[in-house]
Chain A
C-alpha cells in the first residue's frame, strides 16, 4: 500500500507532544553553561508521564520551554500535535502549573480559579459558573468566597490545580505540585489527581522528586540525567489502573522502584561529585 493516509492511520497515533534534539544553553564561549542537552521525548495523547531526576538537572528549564516561556535553542524543536512551535507560539496552548501555587492574594478562591478563563476573555459570570461546578469535585465547596491566606496548603494546591484544569488545554504540565505538602495530604492528593485525570483524560506531564509518586501516578516514568540534563531512560509502568494506595506495597511496584532508584542514585552521585 502506498496511500500515505492509510499509512498514517495504520501507524501509532501522532504524539501529543514531541521534543526533538532540544538544547538550552546559557551564555557564550567559555562561560557557556548547558542546562538541557539533546532531549528527545514523546508523549502520547491522554498519557500520564512523570519525570524524575536529580535536583538542578534542568527539569524546570525543560518545562519552561514546553510552556513556551523559554525558546529552545535553534538546533532542536518542540512539536505539538505534529506541528513545530516557533518562539512564543506555545504560550496559551499548554496548561501550566508551577511548583508554588502562585495564587493571587487579592482574589477570592473562585476568582483565582477563573484567572485563566478571564485572561482568555470569557465573561466573568460565565467563567464563575464554570468554576463553581468544579468546586465539589476539588473538595473546595463552601470556600468560593475565601481568600488564599485562609486556606491550608493542600487546599491552596487544589485551587491552583483547578485553575490549571479550567484552562482547558489538552496538555497539562505540573511541576512538583505536591512537593510542599505533608506525606498524608500528598498521598490523598495523588489519588484524587488520578481520579480527576481518569475523568477528564488530559495529557499530563508531571515533574517530581519522589520516585514513589512518579511510579504511582505515571503510565511512563522518564528519568533525567544530572546537569546538563537529558533523558537517561524511560520506564513504562504497566501497573493496572485504577490504582489505590496499597499498590505501593506490591512486589511489582517494589521491583520497578528498585530499578529506578539505582538509576537515580547513580545520577545524584554525579551531581554530588561535580559539586564537591
Chain B
C-alpha cells in the first residue's frame, strides 16, 4: 500500500480531523459546552442510532426530491430565459425578488398549502435549489461560441440541432456548477422545512438538541448534515468527472 497516496486521499482528511479532535480537546482542556470530546459525541450518536438513521434517510429523501425537482425547473427556466428575452424580462425580476424573501416567510405559506407532508420540505428545498440552477443554465447557454454557431449554421443546422448539439453541451459545466450550489441549499431547505413541523428528520433532531441544549447531540447532527452534503456533492462530482468533464474554451 502506498502510504503517501493514502495520506493525500480525501478519506484521510476525515482521519486528520478526528485525530485533531481527539488530541486537542484534552490538550487545551476545551469546555464540553464549546466542543465535547469525540468519544462523547460518538457515544451520543450510538444512543440514538435508529432515530439518527431514520432521520438521515428522511432528510436525504427530502433533499434529493427537492434538488431533482429544483434542477429540472431551474434548467427549464434557464432554457426558456435564454431563448425568450420577453420571458426573461417578465419573470427574472420576480425570481430575484423571490430569492430575497427569507425562506422563513415563504415557509409559513408552504405549510398552509402542503401541511406537514414531505411535499412541504421538498418544495422549500426546491425553492432554494431552483435559482442557482436557472441562473447558471442561462449563463451557460449564453457561452455558446458564436463561431461554432456560425459553423453549425453553415452545415444547415436547425435551432433545435444548435441547442442539442452545441448550446446544451456548452452549458453543462455551468449547469453542474449551479447544481453543486443547489445541492447544499437543498439540504438547508430540507432541514429548515422540518422546522415547520415534523417528527422525523435531522432538522427535527437538531431543533430538539438546541431546545434541550444537548451539545454533543448538536455535534452529532452537524456531522450527519455534513455527511449528507458530502455524499450528495460526491455523487455530483462523480457524475461530473464521468459525463461533464470538459470546460468551455
Residue numbers of A with Cβ under 8 A of B are 64, 67-69, 91-92, 94, 96, 98, 100, 102, 104-106, 115-116, 118-120, 147, 149, 167
Contact = CB atoms under 8 A, between A and B. Distances in A.
B4 interface: no
Contact of B169 (A94, A106, A116, A149): A106
A69 B146 CA distance: 11
Nearest to B247: A105
Contacts of A67: 150, 154
Contact of B155 (A98, A100, A116, A149): A116
Nearest to B162: A119
A91 B148 contact: no
Nearest to A67: B154
Given A105-B246, A106-B246, A119-B165, A92 B147 contact: no
Contacts of A115: 155, 165
A91 B147 contact: no
Contacts of A120: 155-156
A69 B148 contact: no
Nearest to B156: A92
Given A102-B148, A149-B246, 9 more contacts: A67-B154, A92-B156, A96-B151, A102-B151, A105-B246, A106-B169, A116-B155, A119-B157, A120-B155
Contacts of A91: 153-154, 156
Interface in B62-86: none
A100 B156 contact: no
Contacts of B246: 105-106, 147, 149
A12 to B, nearest CB: 29
Interface residues of B, number: 19
B154 A96 contact: yes
B199 interface: no
Contacts of A64: 150
Contacts of B166: 104
A92 B249 contact: no
A222 B37 CA distance: 82
Interface in B154-177: 154-157, 161, 165-166, 169, 172
A68 B147 contact: no
A69 B152 contact: no
B145 interface: yes
B156 A119 contact: yes
15 contacts: A67-B150, A69-B150, A92-B155, A92-B156, A98-B147, A98-B151, A100-B147, A102-B148, A104-B169, A105-B246, A106-B172, A119-B152, A119-B155, A149-B246, A167-B155
Contact of B145 (A94, A102, A118): A102
Q: By CB atoms of chain A within 10 A, which of B152, B155, B161 has the most?
A: B155
A67 B150 CA distance: 9
A92 B148 CA distance: 14
A94 B172 CA distance: 30
A63 to B, nearest CB: 10
Contacts of A104: 148, 165-166, 169
Interface string B192-222: 0000000000000000000000000000000
Contacts of A147: 246
A106 B156 CA distance: 21
B148 A94 contact: no
Contacts of A69: 150, 153-154
A92 B154 CA distance: 5
A115 B247 CA distance: 19
A120 B165 CA distance: 13
Contacts of A118: 165
